[in-house]
Amino acid sequence: MSPMSAQHPAQHQAESKAQVQPQNLALLQQQVRSAETAFAASMAQRDHAAFNQFLSEEAVFFSEDKVLRGKSQVAEGWRPYFLKSQAPFSWAADQIEVLASGTLAHSSGPVYNAKGKLIARFSSIWRLEAEGSWRIIFDKGNEVCDCSDK
């Protein structure tokens, strides 16, 4: 049993409402930005093992017509993206927000195909896990309108 589950619910609720000081919130945002940047670099560098290190055991990735649940399923589902020498797409966060509790964060930004064309926007939820690392718990991409054709 984890220490968190042994706590009285009211005690846990009070602790989860704790507010992070603004200067610490900025530090946490930078930590998430660094994690997101390294996560994106794992794709660019074709490093599937590094990619996997950013996945929470509970990760849920929305992938086209299915949902990938758990680190193993996400890792296997994304393996094909790492097989060719050139990355099929790239991404970079242009927005990072961290909860006042300092435990969850949201990152989002553009996704580009291998030729540099904007094809989607991603949205990820990160959790600060027990050992102090930020890991992805939810990830979803949404196609963008190719409005130049209209």
Whether residue 3 lies inside any domain: the answer is: no
φ/ψ (deg, to 5) at 2: -75, 155
Give the CATH number, domain containing residue 68: 3.10.450.50
Backbone dihedral region of 39: left (phi > 0), alpha (psi from -120 to 50 degrees) or beta?
Answer: alpha
Whether residue 149 lies inside any domain: the answer is: no
- Cα–Cα dist 60/124, whole Å: 10
- Cα–Cα dist 24/42, whole Å: 27
Whether residue 13 lies inside any domain: the answer is: no
Token output for 40? 């994106």
Whether residue 134 is predicted with pLDDT greater than 80 in this model: the reply is yes
- Cα–Cα dist 43/85, whole Å: 10
pLDDT on residue 126: 98
pTM over 0.95: no
- Cα–Cα dist 135/2, whole Å: 19
Q: How much of the chain exceeds pLDDT 70, in percent?
A: 86
Report how many domains make up the chain: 1
Whether residue 12 lies inside any domain: the answer is: no
Whether residue 1 is predicted with pLDDT greater than 60 in this model: the reply is no
Whether residue 11 lies inside any domain: the answer is: no
* 79-131 tens-digit pLDDT: 999 999 999 999 999 999 999 999 999 999 999 999 999 999 999 999 999 99
Whether residue 115 lies inside any domain: the answer is: yes
Structural domain harbouring 44? 20-142
Whether residue 65 lies inside any domain: the answer is: yes
- Type of residue found at 103: T
pLDDT on residue 81: 97
Region 51-72: mean pLDDT is 96
